[in-house]
Each structure stands twice: as structure tokens, then as C-alpha cells.
Structure 1
Amino acid sequence: MSKIKRYFTKKKEEVAFRLRLRSGMGQGRQLNAAQPYATPSILRRIRAAHVPPLRHQQHDETSAAAANLVLLSMMRKYSWPEAAPRPEREAFKELPCTGGSASMSSTGQQPELACEGVFFRCPELSPEVLPKQVWQLKIKDMLHRQLEHERGLAGCLIIRNCNPVEKADDCRDALVQYLENIIQSPDQEQFSKIRMSNTIFNGRVRYVDGALDVLHAAGFDEVAINGEPFLVWSKAHIELDLNILVETLKHTQSFKLILDRNTKVLQPAQAIPIQLPDDFFRISAKDTIESSQMPIIGAMRESIYSYTLIRIKLPDGLYLQGTFDVKEKVSDIFDFVRSCLTDETLPFDLSGKLNGGDMDKTLYDCKLIPNAVLLLTVPGLDDSLAIGGSLLKAQLQQQKQPF
């Protein structure tokens, strides 16, 4: 049985189970009603008790939205180009540490950057490591290609992945109301027609990417009535069971982009003051300074820095480098270092801008932005051992940047 068939079978079983839990769907609701659509109390308790897995843990298909599973089978129809290797930089040149975006050097040449940019992974779709903007374009392109094959499911995923979160939530709520009204009262004409000039429809549904595709899959077609455009529902035009569409709309999740550490091992002479690419900043630090003529302090920093470059100096003199989100915790740096060590159980400490009790603080709160250097120490480590051998895994030692 194909993944798509298994998906539909599982979805129908979920819908049947939820329907058995419900004592009744109640009467139809208007879009401008005071209360949003009600979720059965037992489902609310189930969702409230759910604890999402940590990002570094292995992905569990049972914890992801069922709608995302269908895309794994869709991927067989979509040809992904091979990932282009990221260009390796030459040895670092001595640069002033400005903590801002790259600017022209005094010689008129673009200065060497500490890394090529900020990259992400999307394990659900591909092993590629790409910038966020490239991922967003790829996901949008892939989903739109699937509309002709799975219009209803692809439309639900487009709503969630190709629109701002608040816009997607409002659209989802409106579509769920439209479809549940029809499920409850399929013979009531007031629920089978949507005036396309309606203010609520225009504001919450019509111009949301993927929304009309979901309505078409639910059995709505555009019809002119007295010269005015309407969406009119017909049972004969249903492409996907309405219960499945409702549940998919409610539980579809966006694809998670995981920040790639872009791990590098640097020679001691390469660990000099660094220059960061613009990807590390929400807005250009240079532009902010020029426009305000003020130092970057306080809340202004939070609006500028999105990512930070952390370097860890090892006992053998090498530097381990990784990219982090400023909202990540200090404990994430420890996890990163531990994953790079030959012996992951080796006790170690990191010093420099850190104090006891900082493990649960964010990198922003600890002022480890936009870059920082920490010193790794191992209790009881013999000096000769520290000089004669590296603590890093063999594959990382082979990735030392050429000097």
C-alpha cells in the first residue's frame, strides 16, 4: 500500500474516532459569531498535555501533523536538484571586529567573512543545507506543483507554509466554519453559498494563498448569480471528504527549518576579530547606526541581532565554530560542543562571559552576541595530552580550515 493510501486510511480512522467522541456538532455558526469554532473538551485536554519533542531529538512521525506525512510520498514526484556545495573561504584576514554587516575595506575590496551565511535544514523534505529564503521558495514551489495531484491536502499545507502565521490562523478558522456548517446542515442553502464580495470572506480567505484551492476541493465552484460572483457548494463536486479536510486544516503544521550549525574547526591564527555576513542581522547594523546616529544599545540590539557566531577555544589551540540563534540557551552551546567531542561523556566547562546558573539563559541575555569566544577546560586534563591530541571527532579534525 502506498504512503498516500496509508495516509488516507489513517486520516479516515482519526476522523471516525473524533466523530465518536463528539456528542453532537450543534447548529451552524455565522462567521461573525462571538465565539470561534469549539473544539471538543477531550481534544483540548489531549493537546494541552502534548509536549513537543526537543529540536535535537530524533523526529517522531507520530508527533507531527498527519497532513505532513503525505508530502513524503509527494516528494517522489518532485525532483530536487542536488545541493550545491557551499564555497569554502580562504584563511581569515585580519579585520576590525565591528559586530556589524560586512563593509568595504580600506583597499576597496570586500573583506573576508567569518562564514558564508546562515543555513538551515529541513529533514522532512531533503538533506540539503540552504539559506532560509531558498527553502521558503522551494517549499512554495513544491506545494504548488502538487495542487493538480492533491489539491485539498496541498492547499491546507500552502495555507500553513506560504502565509504569515496570523493570516493562516484566521483563514483556517473561517474555512473550518464553512465546512463544518455544511457537514452539519448540507441542505441549508445559506451554508452552500459564499458571496465573494463579503467583507469577512475577502479579509480572511479570498487572498490567502491556498484557501480557494481548499474550497474547490471541498466542492465549491465559482458561479455568477445576478452578475455577482459566488462560491456555490455541490456535493457532486467534492474532491476530498469534508471531515478529512476539516481535520487536516486543524492539525496541519508548517515544515520546520532547523538552524544548521555550519560547524568549522579553525587554526589558532585564523581565530582573529571577525566580520559577519548580513544574514546574521534582522536589519543592517550599519544602516541602523547611519540612520539614528546613535550607538546600538538596549532594545535596539534585540531588533538587530538574529544569530550569533560562537567560537570555543580548545585546549590544543584549535577553535570550534558554530552558528546559533540569539534566543537559544547556553545549554545548547554545551550540547553542540559535546556532540563534537570524541568522548561525549567527557566533563568540561566553558568560561568567558558566563556565570554559574546561566545554562537556562538565552545567548542574548548573556550578551553572547553578535559573536563570542569561550574557553573550553577539562578538569584534570594533562597538559601534554592537550597539546598532543585533539578532543574533536576525527571527521571534524579533517575539516580544519586551510591556512
Structure 2
Amino acid sequence: MAEKIKKFFAKKKADTKFKLAGPGHKLNESSTTVVVGPSKKKPAYVPSKVEPSEAARQAAEAAMVRLSGQRKDTAFNTSLAAIQAKVRRELEAENKSQAQAQGLPMRPVETELEVSAHLAVKGVYFKCALISDEVLTKDEWKVKIKEFLLNTLEEERGMTSCLMIYSCNYNRSKVLECVNVLCRYLDNLIGNPEEPKFHKIRCSNATFCDKVIPILGAQDFLYAAGFRQQKLENNGVEEDFLVWSIENIDNFDTLQFLRDTLKAEERVELEIDRNIQVLSPAQASQRIELPQDFYAMTAEELKKEKQQRAEMVEKQMQLRTKAMREKDEIREIRKYKFCLIRIRFPDGLYLQGTFSVYEKFSEILDFVKENLEHEGLPFILSVPTGHKLEESDKESTLADLRLVPATILMFQWDPLVEEDLRAAGNIAYLKPEVMLLVQSM
């Protein structure tokens, strides 16, 4: 079922791109330019062309150079050298600071409601390959998904209405109640196709009003199943009914197909965008606060949590069992939906990405691999205490590994390859085009 939905929307995306390409032309058509008079219609909005930034241009050049196996671009090498020199200076300053004090906290400080200049990220962003290539916030995607599905209804009402039910309604218990009612309507028709009482749904029926009408997509689902609204007499009074007819659907098997599609619980899924950033030591030490999007709690709950912190500090002063401490730690972790992971490389740069707390550690490994200059070489990640994360940790979630809400992981090449890299005079870590993502202060 999921594959059928993907194919349908892939075709729709392709059709949209085809339409945007403009009018077609015959092969034997004259190439003479045709002058068209001014139209009375309002011209379509065309976004102004934005020239790429210097950093973006250099990143593109870097990628092309890398793919061709050459490293002779003088401007590009100068940019890299400038970045490396800047990072070395900041790293030296950081080392001096650490020698004089205890060092900076390894975890970002939590921030509740105020907008801070020291935010590590501005928010949490998502992608949706099913609809477009954009990167948006969850609230922006909610609007876009709803618009997209509403525009698709006429073309494919059955599958689209099922997707709407699960993707555009956010109270899961209400959705499941609605689905159960819709399935009962279809089960009655499938099991008793000749029974007239199952061909009608009274629109003022309490169950229909309470459990079906409030759910976006539910009435479109019934339309796809062959129900149409009519006025019928009921106890001497005309009332609105949804009346089913076999003539409104392709064939009787449509009912079973719609039921199966509805029970499959398919939805338009969002994929978290890593919001990749590369930070110098100075930037990493300043941008240490998390935005409210990272929390699983509301603003009011966060205020209440703040009031309870004094009590928590007092608890820490008491003698407490290991089980009691672990319980408090789990409670703290559950406050978060997302976490910020920073990979610190020996050259002082930090690679930063956003993850769900329920993603597996293997996702972090893949994230690092994708951005390494030597993508296929083995490496080791360890927590600031020195504990190395093992192969057995791959299937553990970030919450299980206590990497929430934010953690710095130390990168090092596997000793088996590090000596060879040094001997070859090539100990680069990040891809050149990734290094150029280092932001200005």
C-alpha cells in the first residue's frame, strides 16, 4: 500500500514539474518567435533571482574540484587555509582558557521562553520527499500538506482521503474512533450489500456528528466509497442523509480496497532535517542554548519545571540511591523531543546536526560518514569522559545512550588508519565543501 501511494505522488510531482516547463512544441514546428499581445490576466508571481553567496559559490566550486579529483583552485585553497588558520587560533585560545579554569560545560544550557542570541540552532526543520524538496518547520509543513492533499482529492479521492485522516488530524484517539466508525459502515455494506438500512447514514446521527464530521478527510472517504448527500423523509420530516449506490463506484471491490487502505494507517511522513552546521571553537562555546522546539513540554510546563529546580538541587545534596538518580535522569530526558549532537574533530572544528531522541546511534555514524573527506575509513566516537561508543551501541536510541538534550562527541580516526594518513601527509577530516559552511561570527 505504501509503495502504491509513493508511486502515485511521484507521478503527481513529475506532472507538476512537466506543467511548469511551459507549453510543448512539435519537432517540425518553426522556431520563429511569436509575439503575444498583453494579457488581461494578472501575471503569475515570479520570485526574483537571488545570486548565490560567495561561500555558496566557493562550495559549489569545491564540490566540482573534488569530483574531478583535482585540488588546484587557488581561491578555493586560500579559503580553506584561512578557515584552518582561524580555527587553529581559536583552538589555542580555548586550550589556554581550559588550563586556567575548569572548562566550559559539555552540554548546552537549557533555555525556556526568551529568544537568546546564543541559540545553538534557530529551530527544528523537516523535509517531505513525498511533496517537495523544501525544508520547513513542522507548522509550515502542516499547512503545506493540507493544501497539497486538498488539491489532490479530485484526482484520487480514496487514497488521498485516507492520508488526510492520518496526516491532518492530530488527536490520535479521535482519529482511531473515526476510523472504527468508517470501517463499520463499509463492513456493513460488504457483508450485507442488499440490506437497505446499511445504504443510508443520517447526517444528524450522534455518532456521525461526534466522531466522523470533526475529522478532516472522513466525509471525502465516504464520498469515495459511493455515498452521496440527499434529502430523505424521516418520520414525516425531511433530513439530510448520505446514501450509498453501487453506481457511484467502479465496482464492489472498491469498498474492500478503501477499507484496507484506511486500516493501513499510512500518513505523509516528515523527515527531520539535520540542519548541518560547522562551528569554530569560539562559535561552539557561545552558541550553547536550545530553542523551545526541542522540548516535549509546553511553555507553561517549562515555567513549572523551572520552579521545581530548587527542589532538585536540594535533592542532589542528599544521599540518594542509584535507582533514585536514574529515575530523575529518565524524567529529565523525557522533557525533550530532539537533541543536538556536535562532533568535535582534532583540528578544532565542530560538525553539528539535529536528531530525534528516538533515532538510533547508527544515524549519527551515518551523518559523520557522509561529511568526512575520507568517507570509507573507520573512526571512533567517544563521549567527553573518554568512554568509546561501541558497535553494540548502534541499535540503541540517543535517549537510551543518555545523549539528550545535547552532547559533544569526540572524533578520532581508527588507530589502524591514522598512522597511514599521517604518513601520507593527509589528515583532513571534513570534506572541503562542508568546511566552507563555517559561519561568520
Do they superpose with TM above 0.5?
A: yes
1:256 corresponds in structure 2 to 269
Q: Label 1:245 to 1:103 Cα distance change in 2 as closer, same or farther (>3 A).
A: closer
Q: For 1:176 and 1:113, locate their aligned partners in 2 and report how far apart those are by CA, in whole Å.
A: 48
1:337 corresponds in structure 2 to 368
Deviation per CA, 1:299-340: give whole Å up to 9, x if none: 432332111111111122211111111122223222211221
- RMSD value over aligned CA atoms? 3.6
Q: For 1:190 and 1:103, locate their aligned partners in 2 and report how far apart those are by CA, in whole Å.
A: 56
Amino acid at match of 2:369: R
2:174 corresponds in structure 1 to 167
2:72 corresponds in structure 1 to none
1:213 corresponds in structure 2 to 220
Determine which structure has more spread, i.e. the larger CA radius of gyration: 2
Q: For 1:302 and 1:266, locate their aligned partners in 2 and report how far apart those are by CA, in whole Å.
A: 25
Does the 8 Å CA contact 2:333/2:404 hold for their aligned counterparts?
no
Does the 8 Å CA contact 1:313/1:320 hold for their aligned counterparts?
yes
Q: For 2:119 and 2:241, locate their aligned partners in 1 and report how far apart those are by CA, in whole Å.
A: 56
Deviation per CA, 1:121-145: give whole Å up to 9, x if none: 1112211111112112110111122
Deviation per CA, 1:205-231: give whole Å up to 9, x if none: 232111111112222223343234432
Does the 8 Å CA contact 1:316/1:388 hold for their aligned counterparts?
no
Q: Does 1:71 align with 2:9?
A: yes
TM superposition shift of 1:152: 3.0
Equivalent pairs, count: 331
Structure 2 unmatched runs, 5+: 21-44, 56-85, 87-93, 95-103, 314-327
2:180 aligned counterpart, secondary structure: helix
Q: Label 1:169 to 1:161 Cα distance change in 2 as closer, same or farther (>3 A).
A: same
2:190 aligned counterpart, secondary structure: helix
2:396 corresponds in structure 1 to 361
Select which of 242, 260, 274 maps to 1:247: 260
TM superposition shift of 1:389: 4.6
Amino acid at match of 1:225: E
Does the 8 Å CA contact 2:108/2:406 hold for their aligned counterparts?
no
Q: Label 1:135 to 1:272 Cα distance change in 2 as closer, same or farther (>3 A).
A: same
TM superposition shift of 1:193: 1.4
Q: For 2:248 and 2:425, locate their aligned partners in 1 and report how far apart those are by CA, in whole Å.
A: 73
Q: Label 1:286 to 1:182 Cα distance change in 2 as closer, same or farther (>3 A).
A: closer
- Greater helix share, structure number: 2
TM superposition shift of 1:269: 2.1
Select which of 429, 433, 440 maps to 1:391: 429
TM superposition shift of 1:286: 4.6
TM-score (structure 1 length as normaliser): 0.71
Q: Does 1:185 align with 2:198?
A: no
Q: How does 1:1-400 map to 2 (within 5 A)?
A: 64-75=2-13, 76=15, 99-101=109-111, 110-163=116-169, 164-222=171-229, 223-226=231-234, 227=237, 228-238=239-249, 241-251=254-264, 253-272=266-285, 274-283=288-297, 284=299, 286-293=302-309, 294-295=311-312, 297-352=328-383, 354-355=387-388, 356=390, 357-380=392-415, 381-382=418-419, 389-400=427-438
Amino acid at match of 2:292: D
1:116 aligned counterpart, secondary structure: coil
Q: For 1:300 and 1:264, locate their aligned partners in 2 and report how far apart those are by CA, in whole Å.
A: 29
1:152 aligned counterpart, secondary structure: helix
Q: For 2:182 and 2:133, locate their aligned partners in 1 and report how far apart those are by CA, in whole Å.
A: 34
Q: For 1:244 and 1:196, locate their aligned partners in 2 and report how far apart those are by CA, in whole Å.
A: 24
Does the 8 Å CA contact 1:289/1:295 hold for their aligned counterparts?
no
